[in-house]
Structure 1
Amino acid sequence: MSLIRIIVSAIYVVAQVLLVRPSLVEGRQTRNLLTGTLGHHHDTDLPRFAEEIQNVTVSVGRDALLACVVDNLRHYKVAWVRVDTQTILSIHQNVITQNPRISLTYNDHRSWYLHIKDVQEVDRGWYMCQVNTDPMKSRQGYVQVVVPPSIITKETSTDMVVREASNVTLTCKATGYPEPYVMWRREDGKNINYNGESVNVVDGEVLHIVKISRLHMGAYLCIASNGVPPSVSKRVSLRVQFPPMLSIPNQLEGAYIGQDVTLECHTEAYPNSINYWTTERGDMIVSGNSVSGDKYEAISTDSGYNKYMMLKIRNVGPKDFGSYKCVAQNSLGGTDGVIKLDGKSRNDNKKDNL
């Protein structure tokens, strides 16, 4: 046993003796006049607790207050004791503990208040209010210290870039009291394709995706909550790499001499691909350059990993008929698609308008 524990135990024993002594003296002085024997006061003469000590729930860092209300205290004394450690906190009007966060106030010799400032988790537990009657009377109250959730950064996944068809595991760890509930969801609110089902939320610390696809790409939120505000979240960006893929709505386009025509090509790729058009001879088409002039206008619109390509050919002439190729390339590979532009007569155009 350490020296400090011995000293604390000694103080506790002495204090208990001091607390009990008045009741013993009172007992000796109380004599039954009919029998001449020693006796005790009736219960109605002894101190009594006016109410139960209310349990307190407080967030860490806030202040807690326990109230002990005693009627008919007279010359008896009140003490506050930490039950689990048997530490004496106060004896009557004196604070005994060396904990600077604990203080005592009292009112009319009836209400005795134990104050705990800047409550910490170590303060969680039972507290006893004692009155030194013989036998001792006491009441207990519980201080519940709750802690808002906090995400453990070192044990939580960060932004990831993975190859399509691989397995991915996102992990999120959180602390708090009570133990936080952790869930995953997409930041954009879309459902998650998870274990063959489309779900909005995945419960638990781990989000494990088998054979990830480009549809899983996006930002995910790990959210931790335990009923103690505020809830917290961590954002994890998930990027899925795959080589370019290409689709062409119309592989055959027709135009008459002098008409403007637009060719369309859709691509998907991550990392973002380099997209361009070439002629049948393999020459790259650059919009508005000195060679092509205003003949061509190439437009590209991005939406995530999708890219929408258009090639507008103005004032189509006989030399413009033939094949055009849209090309997409990134670090993982490349792909291309061919669109054939055929000529049609004015009569064909009139038929189309009928």
Structure 2
Amino acid sequence: MLVTNVLAQRTPTISHITQEQIRDIGGQVDLDCSVHYAQEYPVLWVKYDRHKSVESLPLSTNSGLIIKDSRFSLRFDVASATYTLSIRDIQETDAGWYQCQVLISVSNRITAEVELQVRLPPIISDNSTRSLVASEGESAQMECYAGGFPPPKMSWRRENNAILPTGGSIYRGNILKIAAVHKEDRGTYYCVAENGVGKGARRNINLEVEFAPVVSVPRPRLGQALQFDMDLECHVEAYPPPAIVWLKDEVQLSNNQHYRISHFATADEFTDTTIRVITIEKRQYGVFTCKAQNKLGSDEGQVELFETIIPVCPPACGTARYGAAAAVAPSAGTVAACAAVYAAYVFRRIANTRH
């Protein structure tokens, strides 16, 4: 009888509580709470928010669950007086603090707590940059943020591991700043978030750089005989795509029986432009100008067409080449016809000389 009274007078104690737990989403965890001298007192597991923004949620009392969730279960081991709260298929919302409580009275309780941290793979946030347009010479800034646990580390790369404007092939941080953008900086950038959970996350960010046209001429001087065709070419690099015109003697040329103009966009920033001078007459020899212009500026290139005695093949033999398009090889019959035309042409020149 004396022993019973002594035990009844002992204050309940929590002798053991599980230490901090870290689990992957979808995993399982056991939270143990060992309580002594609490046979006459309620023992609860409670999930609560340390910041008190959410009310505490009672999960169990003594050996029974309160919450109706099949992912939760409770075990009680009599020998060790241990209450074990098990959670399987762990979700992100399960992260937080779990408190073991022994209710002594309305105003008195004994508590111990353990934190459950749920490891989450990185997820790129919606407030991250998706694409960016900048003019050459301006500054540009791309931002990338990600959620997950542990907090992800952010890094930047370029397509094909090209060198970044900041130097090197990798830049670490949430914000990639470019002090002065050059047209060579355009392309795809990769924002990568990694925290050791899963494969990480990546977002492709396209940087478009607006720049004034740059015109190059692959063959500045081209010769062709009278009454034959000749193709003159210019390569244009610009963004936004420019307006392109051909001029001769400061007069803009257009498609007609004397000229055929073609533009071939090989990429957003590259255009090949060709003008075919058809059945050349004496007045068509001279300097041709190809001019490209967009909102940032203009540039031009010049091609000189001069007279030759020998017809140039192609295109005199019936083979055309436009920009990067493949040429079609002339047939034997075409070559023979071209040779016959040339022979007749030479014969006429000789005859005229004699007279």
CA-to-aligned-CA distance 1:235-258 (integer Å, 9 cap, x gap): 433221222121112221112234
Superposed counterparts of 1:29-48, under 5 Å: none
Superposed counterparts of 1:1-354, under 5 Å: 25=4, 56-59=21-24, 62=26, 64-66=28-30, 81=45, 90-95=60-65, 103-106=72-75, 113-116=84-87, 119-120=91-92, 123-125=95-97, 143-154=116-127, 156-186=128-158, 188-195=159-166, 197=167, 199-229=168-198, 231-280=200-249, 282-286=251-255, 289=256, 291-292=257-258, 295-346=259-310
Three-state SS of the structure 2 residue aligned to 1:285 is: coil
Letter paired with 2:294: N
Three-state SS of the structure 1 residue aligned to 2:160 is: coil
Letter paired with 1:180: P
- Give the drift of 1:297: 4.9
Q: TM-score, normalised by structure 1?
A: 0.64
Quickly say closer, same or farther: Cα 1:83–1:179, change in 2 above 3 A: same
d(CA) in 1 for partners of 2:99 and 2:7? Answer: 31
Quickly say closer, same or farther: Cα 1:305–1:339, change in 2 above 3 A: same
Quickly say closer, same or farther: Cα 1:321–1:88, change in 2 above 3 A: closer
d(CA) in 2 for partners of 1:329 and 1:236? Answer: 28
- Give the drift of 1:80: 6.2
Letter paired with 1:145: V
Quickly say closer, same or farther: Cα 1:319–1:64, change in 2 above 3 A: same
Matched-pair contact (CA < 8 Å) for 1:182–1:203: yes
Unpaired segments of 5 or more residues in structure 1? 1-23, 30-47, 131-138
Letter paired with 1:57: I
Quickly say closer, same or farther: Cα 1:283–1:165, change in 2 above 3 A: closer
Three-state SS of the structure 2 residue aligned to 1:267 is: strand
How many residues get paired?
Answer: 288
Matched-pair contact (CA < 8 Å) for 1:64–1:119: no
CA-to-aligned-CA distance 1:215-263 (integer Å, 9 cap, x gap): 1112323222222336333343322122212111222111223444222
Could you tell me the percent identity over the aligned residues?
Answer: 21
Letter paired with 1:25: T
d(CA) in 2 for partners of 1:336 and 1:28? Answer: 101
Of 204-213 and 273-282, more deviation after overlay is shown by 273-282
Quickly say closer, same or farther: Cα 1:123–1:339, change in 2 above 3 A: closer
Matched-pair contact (CA < 8 Å) for 2:263–2:271: no
Query: What's the C-alpha RMSD, in Å, of the aligned pairs?
Result: 4.4
d(CA) in 2 for partners of 1:345 and 1:224? Answer: 67
Q: TM-score, normalised by structure 2?
A: 0.64
Matched-pair contact (CA < 8 Å) for 2:33–2:100: no
d(CA) in 1 for partners of 2:246 and 2:229? Answer: 17
Letter paired with 1:95: L
Equivalent position of 1:43 in the other structure: none
